[in-house]
Amino acid sequence: MSRKRNSVNAAPDMDPVLNEVIKNFPGRKSQIEQLYNHYGDIDECYVDATYVHGGPSTGKTTIVVTLLRALGVKHAVVNLIECYTTKILLESILNQLAEHKVSPNHTAPYAKCDNMMEFVKNVKKYAAENEDFMQAVIVLDNAEKVRDMEFNLLPCFQRLRELTGLKLSTIFISELVYQKFFVKLTAGEVIKIHFSQYNKDEILEILALDFDDAKEFVANNSSTVLPIDLDFYKNYLNVFLSVFYRACRDFSELRYMARINFVKYIEPVIKNECAITDSMALWRHIAPTLKSSLEVLYLRLSATKTKAATFSKENLAQSLELPYYAKYLLIAAYLASYNPAKDDKRLFMKFHGKKTKSMRDVKAKSKVSECLNTQLGPKAFSFDRLLAIFYAILDEKIGFNNNLLVQVSSLVELQLLSALSDNFNLDGQKYKCTVGFDFVQTISKMVGFNIRKYLSDFSHI
């Protein structure tokens, strides 16, 4: 059954399929309509390539795949983190296009593809044997990884229609801007679609889609029927975002934390300790839990499915069992995130010269807590600055080796550090510390380090 795209004068939201997708993904109407305009008409040739980019958890992959499925477009989706070699990548795409099932008992691919030339030949062969194979879309998730593979992959994926003589299109999905992919061999125009970060209202609207699950949970854990409606759940989300939105814009993490903390929020109502309309009592009950949860953001810790956890920061910091140097690297990362770079010489060098007292130093003693660097959130820092602070605060002298690099990578994997740039950044890798003061202070006590002495907010005390 063919699907006709609306005429130029017609509104694109006339299509019920488009309306349904837009309804399921609030805040993404513009991006969905752009994708629909390029892939909504099965009787027309698709564009050669589309580049979808944006920050993490902005709905890029989910929306692209959902729309293609809803439109009935034949497509293959591959994640370049999983398909890390050219052979695995090309064979995985060909298996999906040919609907070739790979099972534990039958692991042979549809055809062997060691390079792009063999891939093109096998795709043309499959099309010749199957007349219903008219056109298809190839979706490359985490597309930035293609730069680490054979140099001809990127330009070939952008010119598949020319190389194969078939109606093939490629959708690149990445967190990087397209300029990071500049290749001289690249040919053809690439349609770029940007997925911006969700704002607070959009996040609240998306989180509110979980209301049915929240209502079902309350029904299963309460002996009485509670009059919980969508407005009540949105009031909870407003309370939740007032604490978390400033510290985190990652929708996946916000959704996870909203789910586990709603259990604690509704607990007094389930136990008949307060009325469901007493918003102040509910706020007083949930405030300590939200603060504790904020300290372990990104670590995905919870007590049980039915009970929200109240976390002990000291126990959490000790249970991680970080190596000795990794603890100092985490301390150095915190100092780099919460100290201005211009204060490094004064804080970490013994002989930094005389410093005359200024009005800035006098005012620093009366600085309100809202203006403290430790309250304004972490700032990005370079890898070189991290190492400089690490060597300055470490008592013993050690040489730079691969072990330190591995431990920095481990801190990123544990979400204690956040990598803000890729390995191709000419200015060096950028990081940001994601743990709070209480957490890093516990780590500091474990190695006998006085972190307050090296923080600009407290060094004047």
pLDDT tens-digit series, residues 64-111: 999 999 999 999 999 999 998 999 999 999 999 988 877 666 678 888
Inform me whether the pLDDT recorded for 412 exceeds 50.
yes
Distance, in Å, from the CA atom of 286 to the CA atom of 49, rounded to the nearest integer, reads 48
Residue 342 scores a pLDDT above 60: yes
Q: How confident is the model at residue 307 (pLDDT cuts 50, 70, 90)?
A: very low
The residues that bridge with 431 in the sheet, in sequence order, are 381, 419
3-state secondary structure of 357: coil
Specify whether the CB–CB gap between 420 and 380 falls below 8 A: yes
Give the pLDDT band of residue 62 (cuts 50, 70, 90). very high
Count CB atoms within 10 A of the CB of residue 246. 12
For residue 296, list its beta bridge partners. none
48-52, 395-399, 431-435: range with lowest mean pLDDT? 395-399
Side by side, the strands of the sheet bearing 191-195 are 75-79, 135-141, 167-174, 49-54, 191-195
124 vs 116: CA distance, rounded Å: 12
- Between vectors from CA 22 to CA 19 and to CA 79, what angle results, nearest 5°? 125
Tell me how far apart the alpha carbons of residues 228 and 226 are, in angstroms, rounded to a whole number: 6
More reliable by pLDDT, 214 or 47: 47
Question: Residue range 7-31: average pLDDT?
Answer: 76
d(CA 369, CA 373) in angstroms, rounded, equals 9
The dihedral built from the CA positions of residue 22, 76, 130 and 101, taken in this order, carries a sign that is negative
Q: What is the pTM of this model?
A: 0.69
Q: How many residues does the chain have?
A: 461
Which helix (H) or strand (E) is 227 found in, with range?
none
- For residue 272, pLDDT beyond 90: no
Q: How confident is the model at residue 13 (pLDDT cuts 50, 70, 90)?
A: very low
The contacts of residue 259 (CB under 8 Å, 6+ apart) are 210, 213, 214
Q: Tell me phi and psi for residue 439, to 5 degrees.
A: -65, -50
Residue 9: pLDDT band (50, 70, 90) is very low
pLDDT tens per residue, range 20-54: 999 999 999 999 999 999 998 877 888 999 999 99
Mean pLDDT of all residues in 231-235: 90
Domains located in the chain, CATH noted: 12-195 (3.40.50.300), 200-311 (no CATH), 317-454 (1.10.10)
Is it the case that residue 139 has pLDDT exceeding 70? yes
What is residue 316's predicted lDDT score, i.e. its pLDDT? 62
What does the CA dihedral 95, 100, 104, 108 come to, rounded to 10 degrees?
-70
pLDDT in tens, 343-393: 888 888 765 555 555 655 555 555 544 456 566 778 889 999 999 999 989
Nearest CA to 200 among 252, 237, 229, 236?
237
CA distance 295 to 315: 12
Q: How many CA atoms within 13 Å lie on the side-chain side of 138?
A: 29
Q: Are 53 and 195 in contact (CB under 8 A)?
A: yes
pLDDT of residue 134: 79
